[in-house]
Structure formats: C-alpha cells, structure tokens
Amino acid sequence: MAKSAVQEFTKGLWAEIPPFRLVLGLCPTLAVTKTVENGVGMGIATTFVLVCSNIIISLLRNVIPKRVRIACFIVVIATFVTVVELVMQAFTYPLFLKLGIFIPLIVVNCIVLGRAEAFAAKNGVLSSFADGLGIGIGFTLSLTVLAIVREILGSGTFTLPITGASIAVMGSSFKPFTFMVEAPGAFVCLGLMLCVMNMLGKK
Amino acid sequence: MREMIKLFLSVALFSACSGGLLATIQNGTKDRIEYQQLKFVKGPAIQQILEGCSNDPLVDRFKIIDGDKERSFFVGEFDGKRSTVAFESFGKGFGGNIGVIVAVNLENDNIAGIGITTHSETPGVGSRAKTDPDFSSQFKGKSIKEPFKVKADGGQIDAVTGATVTSRGVCGAVIDSAEIYMRLKSKIMEKIKT
C-alpha cells in the first residue's frame, strides 16, 4: 500500500478512469455531454467536490464513527456541492442554468461517494488529494472526449468552455447526425468508447 | 445507549459545521447572485418590454417593502418622462410558478407589455407562452384593471394552443400584478420622483 502520491494521481487518468474503467458516474456522463461547454463545466465542478470531500474525509477518517460514516460522508459531499452551486450561480450563471438539475445530482454521483468510502476513509490526506484530483481530471477528460464526439457529429458545432461561444465546425453543407445528441446516441457513444478502451487496455 | 448518543452527536456536529459554512458562503455571494439573476433572467424580459426607453431600467430600479416581501420596480423613461414601471409577479402554471414581468404606464394605468421570466411548463407546449410574441402582445395596451381570462373561461385572451393551464397562469399573474400595482401605486409615485 505504499504507492506514491504521483502514482495515485496518474491512475485516475488512465488505469482507473471513470466512467470508462471504473464504470461509475454514468448518469451525468450521458446527460451533460451534449455540448463541450457543459461537459467541461460538469467535470470541473465534480473534480472540485471530489478533491475537497476526499481531503476532509481523509482528515477526519479516525474521528467519524464507523456506523454513521455514510451519513457523515453525504453531509460533507452535500456541503461542497452546495458551495459549488452557490459559486456557479454567482460567477457563471448561464452555465448554471444549462447544467440545471445535474449540479445537485453530483451529491449522488457514485464516483464521489465511491472514492470517499473506498479510498479517502482509509488513506492519508496527500494520497486522498492526489486520488481525488486524478480521478476528477480523468472524469473531466472523459466527458470532454465524449462531448466533442457527440457535439461535432450531432450538431456540427463546438462550444468553447469559458466563453460559451459556439463555433460551427463542419461547414454549411453538413447535415447533423442528431441521433448523437439524443439519449440513445449517448448510450451508443459510451458503449463504443468502452469498447475502444478495452481494446487499448488488452494490449 | 452511550454509543447511540455519541453517533447522534457526531452527525449533529457535522451538520452544524456544514450549515455554518454554507450560511457564510451564501451570505457572501447573495448580492452577486441577485445581480446575475437580474442580468440573465429578468434582464432580457425587461429590456424587451421597455424597448425604446432612454435609460437603463436595470440600473434605474428601486425597491418597495410590501408586507413581508421586498419588490423591485424597474423604471422606463420615454420622451424624457419616467412614465413606466416594470415589476415581477407570479401565477400558478401547469408545472409550478410562472414569473411574469408586467410593465405599466403610470399615467393611464395601461399595460405597456408583459414578459415571462421563469417557468416550469412543458417544453414546446406551455413554454410557447414565453416564446410566442403573439400571446404576450395580447396584453399590451389594455388597462391593468381588466379581469384577464382565457377565452375558455369567458374572457378575451387567446390561450396558447394546448396550453390552457399555462395561459390561465399568465392571466392570473397579470391580475395579481394589478392588485400589487393598485396597492402600491402611491408609494411608486413617491419613489419615482427621486
């Protein structure tokens, strides 16, 4: 169990990347990847919650009684999600409106509670911080890749993360493959990405 | 028994700390959030209804305390006269409250226009009350004291097709705004002079 902090960080970027390897956090992955801006925004919000909750839970791991640990984890996670919600309302209101109900749903994102229970409750603060950061960035990258595929094929546009400006990438004669931005298309895309990841992993 | 108390206290302590932190942050961001909501939610509706005014209604606004609520009034200046105020009221729609901004001309108590801000109506059906200008323009120019009702209820307003409940909600919001306006008119006249 003597992995260095750097190793904990990098595993979240490939070997244990959610949602493709850990297969956790599929609900927001499918829902917010219609545009790149939404995907990146959701990834950053989740990463913030993941890192903060991992740190706090790791700091308090010897203080939280075992029998109420899930309740305490949820209180910590819900607090940070509410912080994210308030900060987004104050500073990035249009993005807050676009992500809508999926911001409060970060509380029940399996990645956050899963890492808290499986890792932060049993490891030191630095490792937990690295783990949270790695998995969070891995999640953000997955969302971004999926969103790029879905948005470019499905609407022919690319929405820049910070400014929200939408660029028409494919040219005027492109007929959008709208299946991609609908729910069934999300599932199909996710399945194909899982397939690709498994093929690459087998090598 | 002792263990139960210990468990209860630890969760209670966590919740208390969490509550304290959240209350602090909410206080800190309250003003900024109010401004953002103004800019992105109410702003577009207000700019549209008070089109052609020579001032900035979002800046030129004042608040009046109405019972336990604080209502914001946005002033529209036309032809050099600060003649129109816009404020928000709510009506019961199909999926929840519908926020409607009503602009009233202070000289003749006529509606200068309405605009819908927030709603939880069915997308593509009730939401058309917000997006269809033919619906909201029906209220323009009418006296605010008129008892607005949809044609299905014996009134004059053409409801949005397939969205009678939504349309009723908007009418209800306008009637509500009339009541607010009549009640606060003297205070409005006072504040608008400053």
Domain range list for chain B: 46-192
Q: Give the Cβ contact number of residue A47 at 10 Å.
A: 21
SS3 category, B66: strand
Residue of B8, B97, B126, B105 lying closest to B50 (CA atoms): B105
- Whether A80 shows a pLDDT value over 90: the answer reads yes
Instruction: Note the maximum CA span of chain A.
Output: 62
- Contact (CB<8Å) A72/B10: yes
Sole residue written with tokens 């200046």? B77
Tell me the chain A residues in contact with residue B117 when contact means C-beta distances shorter than 8 Å: none
Predicted confidence band at A47 (pLDDT cuts at 50, 70, 90)?
Answer: very high
A86 and B37 within 8 Å at the Cβ level: the answer is no
Contact present, A183 and A19 (Cβ < 8 Å): no
What pLDDT score was predicted for residue A1? 45
What distance in Å separates the CA atoms of residue B39 and residue B45, rounded to the nearest whole number? 10
SS3 category, B38: helix
Per-residue confidence (pLDDT) for residue A18, from 0 to 100: 81
Look up tokens 């990258």; give the residue. Answer: A141
Q: Is B131 on the interface with A (CB under 8 A)?
A: no
Q: How many CB atoms lie within 10 A of CB A120?
A: 28
How distant is the alpha carbon of residue A76 from its chain centre?
A: 18
CA distance B118 to chain A (A): 11
Q: Looking at the complex, report in whole angstroms how far the Cα of residue A80 sits from the nearest Cα belonging to chain B.
A: 9
Q: Which helix (H) or strand (E) element contains residue B111?
A: strand B110-116
Whether chain B has a CB inside 8 Å of the CB on A90: the answer is yes
Instruction: Tell me if chain B has a CB within 8 Å of the CB of A66.
Output: no
Name beta bridge partners: B76. B84
Output phi, psi for B109, to 5 deg.
Answer: 60, 25
With CB atoms and an 8 Å threshold, state whether A93 touches B36: yes
Nearest by Cα to A35 from A139, A144, A142:
A144
Query: How far is residue A136's CA from residue A114's CA, in Å, rounded to a whole number?
Result: 12
Centroid of chain to Cα B177: 9
pTM comes to 0.75
Contacts of B15 in chain A (CB under 8 A): 75
Q: What is the pLDDT of residue A44?
A: 93
CB proximity under 8 Å: B 24-53 to A: 25-26, 29, 32-33, 36-37, 39-40
Say yes or no: A76 contacts chain B, CB-CB below 8 A.
Answer: yes
Tokens of B166: 């939504």
Give the start-to-end residue ranges of the domains of chain A.
Answer: 5-202
Which three-class secondary structure string do you get for A21-70?
Answer: CCCCCHHHHHHHCCCHHHHHHHHHHHHHHHHHHHHHHHHCCCCCCHHHHH
Give tens-digit pLDDT for A49-63.
Answer: 999 999 999 998 888
Average pLDDT per 10 consecutive residues for chain B, totaling 194 residues: 85 90 90 83 83 82 86 86 88 89 90 88 86 88 88 88 91 91 88 78
Q: Choose the closest CB to A65 out of B6, B32, B37.
A: B6
Mean pLDDT, residues A116-131: 88
CA distances from residue A61 to A12, A27, A124, B2, B8 in whole angstroms, order as listed: 22, 28, 9, 21, 17
B15/A93 Cβ within 8 A? no
Cα atoms in the Cβ-side hemisphere of radius 13 Å centred on A123: 21
Residue B23 has a CB neighbour count (10 Å cut-off) of 10
Q: Which of A83, A88, A96, A99 to mutate to test the interface with B (most CBs of B within 10 A)?
A: A83
> Min CA distance, A200 vs chain B (Å)?
42
- Among chain B residues, CA nearest to A67: B7
Report whether pLDDT(A14) > 90. no
Q: Of A77-91, A163-177, B90-104, where does mean pLDDT reach its minimum?
A: A163-177
> Token pair of A77, please?
């996670």
* Pairwise CA distance, residues A173 & A176, whole Å: 9
B54 φ/ψ angles, rounded to the nearest 5 degrees: -95, 10
DSSP tally for chain B: helices H, then strands E: 5, 5
Interface residue B5 vs chain A (CB under 8 A): no
Exposed/middle/buried for A130, CB within 10 Å: 0-12, 13-18, 19+? buried
Interface test mutation site (partner A, options B4, B13, B18, max chain A beta carbons within 10 A)? B18
Chain A segment 96-115 residues within 8 A of B by beta carbon are 97
A93 touches chain B (CB under 8 A): yes
Q: What is the ipTM of this complex?
A: 0.70
Residues of B with Cβ-Cβ distance to A79 under 8 angstroms: 18, 21-22
